[in-house]
């Protein structure tokens, strides 16, 4: 029994390491060759755990071989446009200003119901709203709406807006994130001060605290509505 446990643990960490170095992608974003390698890795990883007659080294070698193939194909697709077309394929326009391109759908082995489903997933419920729809090489649908149906933006009204900003998380589940606080030049005293303003007496009662470069501090208690505060922070030192 112990040999199965040891083999399972070793194989798990090797497979975990392999998937990490292959890069972070969701399954739906994988290129065809990446999906094939991922499925094969999952199958091959089982062998060293099930077959005690197979040495652990001989079970790991196929995994490393697949990783080598992955990096080789990735390298070729980065360096050569021709190789990229062979390995990844080309995006396909399935809707243009003339309407649905039935021949392209047939080439993709895609029916009209699947196209409708993909359009709804992208937020478009009628074909007349779509100027172009493109099936990307990873199988996802990209949509360019017709001008009359695209969402309005401040630029349409010649308005200026504040620059967009990504929130930096300062606290999660009552735990201060020291590295993030250091990047923002935020002290623990500052966070605790605003927790008290939000009516939070104990750190463990706070679900989330975040801040952005526009000076908006967001505090979400675990058992109460969220609160926001505008602080004098524009990417500098918080006081």
Two tokens at 14?
Answer: 């090797």
| Closest C-alpha to 64, from 26, 30, 17, 32 | 17
Alpha-carbon gap, residue 110 to 135, rounded angstroms:
10
Residue with tokens 């194909």: 73
CATH number of the structural domain spanning residue 179:
3.30.240.20
| Whether 141 and 96 share a structural domain | yes
The pLDDT profile of the chain, 239 residues, written as one tens digit per residue, is 677 788 888 888 888 888 787 775 655 556 677 778 888 888 888 877 777 777 878 888 888 888 888 889 888 888 888 888 888 888 999 999 989 999 999 999 999 999 999 999 999 998 989 999 999 988 889 999 998 888 887 777 777 777 767 789 999 999 999 998 988 888 999 999 999 999 999 999 999 999 988 888 999 999 999 999 998 765 554 44
| Whether 191 and 131 share a structural domain | no
Domain final residue, candidates 85, 108, 126 = 85
Q: Which domain holds residue 145?
A: 92-149
Q: What is the pLDDT of residue 239?
A: 45
Sorted by sequence, the CB contacts under 8 Å of residue 137 that are 6+ apart come out as 31, 88, 89, 90, 91
Give how many domains the chain has, as a whole number. Answer: 3
| Whether 72 and 53 share a structural domain | yes
| Closest C-alpha to 87, from 78, 99, 96 | 78
Q: What is the pLDDT of residue 235?
A: 54
Sorted by sequence, the CB contacts under 8 Å of residue 176 that are 6+ apart come out as 170, 188, 191, 203
Whether 14 is in a domain gets the answer: yes
Two tokens at 219?
Answer: 């505090």
């Amino acid at each position: 029994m112990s040999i199965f446990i040891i083999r399972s643990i070793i194989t798990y960490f090797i497979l975990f390491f392999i998937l990490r170095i292959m890069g972070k992608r969701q399954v739906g974003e994988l290129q065809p060759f990446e999906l094939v390698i991922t499925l094969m890795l999952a199958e091959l990883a089982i062998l060293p755990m099930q077959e005690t007659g197979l040495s652990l080294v001989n079970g790991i070698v196929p995994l490393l071989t697949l990783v080598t193939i992955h990096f080789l194909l990735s390298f070729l697709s980065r360096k050569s446009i021709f190789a990229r077309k062979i390995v990844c394929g080309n995006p396909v326009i399935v809707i243009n200003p003339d309407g649905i391109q039935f021949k392209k759908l047939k080439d993709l082995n895609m029916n009209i119901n699947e196209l409708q489903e993909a359009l709804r997933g992208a937020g478009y419920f009628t074909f007349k709203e779509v100027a172009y729809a493109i099936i990307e090489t990873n199988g996802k649908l990209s949509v360019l709406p017709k001008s009359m149906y695209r969402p309005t933006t401040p630029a349409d009204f010649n308005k200026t807006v504040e620059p967009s900003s990504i929130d930096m998380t300062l606290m999660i589940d009552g735990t201060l994130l020291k590295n993030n606080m250091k990047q923002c030049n935020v002290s623990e005293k500052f966070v605790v001060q605003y927790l008290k303003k939000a009516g939070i007496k104990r750190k463990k009662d706070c679900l989330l605290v975040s801040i952005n470069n526009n000076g908006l501090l967001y505090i979400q208690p675990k058992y109460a509505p969220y609160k926001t505060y505008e602080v004098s922070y524009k990417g500098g030192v918080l006081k």
